[in-house]
Amino acid sequence: MSVDRFEAPALVVVDMQNDFVREGAPMEVPDARRTIPVIQALLEFFRLTERPVVYVRYVAGPRRTLIWEWSPQLEPDVKLCWIGHRRRYPDVDEELLCYDIVEELYPEPGEYVIDKYGYSSFHNSRLDSVLEAEHIKSLIVVGTVTQICVEDTVRHGMHLGYRMNLVSDGVSSFDPVLHEATLRNVRMKYGWVSTAAEVIEALRKQ
């Protein structure tokens, strides 16, 4: 019998934060802005159908960890994604909390926001506990960066027993080759890959 990959789903939005998405951000992923309308469509559908939405934020500082070795922007002279640190970006006319979710996708009251200090959304976070409390079995994953935090989340979630669904037009990267390799790898061994339209159409039939 085949697995229902969309049974009891939640939408997980990974690292769509000012310091990754906004223009001129220290670790800007320009491609992430392309995914905003796609993620907005999924958010609208999940909210209208009263399905859970979970946001995950990467946070750093003030103490150095091993992950800083590969991301010098985390150091005190830049303070990428430090809690409480504010930054002005060229595409907005105000200072924003650098680790916060971008305004275009901002959480609504009652939606979960989970902070993490590593790549996987599950590592040393309360994500698994939240999903268990909501009786979630399937995750619809969007966000950035495809081959780093998104992929690590998908792999980790599969090992925890979740049915991982990666939204191909809802994830983004600064490296097209690694982006495509991740989609192929997830499809081969870790979960399912679909467009947002395909996900919404399948969930409408439930």
Looking at the annotation, which residues are catalytic? 15, 116, 149
Per-residue tokens: 154: 């998908």
**Which uninterrupted H or E stretch holds 183?**
helix 176-185
* Contact predicate 23/96, CB 8 Å: no
First to last CA, the chain: 18
In which element (H, E) is residue 36 found? helix 36-48
Question: Residue written as tokens 């009891």?
Answer: 8
Containing 64, the helix (H) or strand (E) segment is: none
